[in-house]
Amino acid sequence: MPQSRLVLVVEDDSAVAEQTCDVLRRADYMPTLAGSLTEASLLTDMNFGAIFLDLLLPETDHHTLTKSVISMRAHFPNAVLIVLSAYLPELNVIQLLKLGADFCLHKPLTIKNVNSVIMAAHELNNGQVRKIRERLDAAVAYG
């Protein structure tokens, strides 16, 4: 598990944000909501263990996506960065991982996916790559 159970959710759609926060609460995390990258950048004094970043925020498009991922990584260098989208083509996932995202998840979230990804990130920090692949494969296969 991450050092902090505090999780930042950067999501502009209020219904999706509430659903995401609800899943995180049920998984025993403490979500903080930011409706934009600007709001998120004001929270740099908080020790987030993970960040769930919506792929398409109003202030971003495919051209500024790079900036949003790099910005989140710069503001919160120790947090697990998880990009969320309802639609993630394989090419975008590869690009996001190269830019600094730790994982990409499809919306809507499930408790199982949240726990699998955060635990996998923790194991990555401990060098346990095989377990990560097994958990991610299981999470993808069983949703």
User: Residue 78 has what pLDDT?
Assistant: 80
Torsional class of 127: left (φ above 0), alpha (ψ -120 to 50), beta (otherwise): left
pTM (2 decimals)?
Answer: 0.77
- Say yes or no to pLDDT of 1 above 60: no
Q: Does residue 10 have a pLDDT over 80?
A: yes
Helices marked H in the chain? 14-26, 37-41, 65-75, 90-99, 111-125, 129-142
As a whole number, mean pLDDT of residues 29-56 equals: 89
At residue 130, the pLDDT reads: 47
Residue 42 has pLDDT above 50, yes or no: yes
Give pLDDT, residue 2: 45
78, HSE (Cβ side, Cα atoms, 13 Å): 11
Query: What's the confidence (pLDDT) of residue 27?
Result: 87
Q: Model confidence over 77-133: pLDDT tens digits?
A: 888 888 888 776 766 778 888 878 888 888 888 888 888 887 777 666 655 544 555
Residues 93, 13: Cα–Cα separation, whole Å:
22
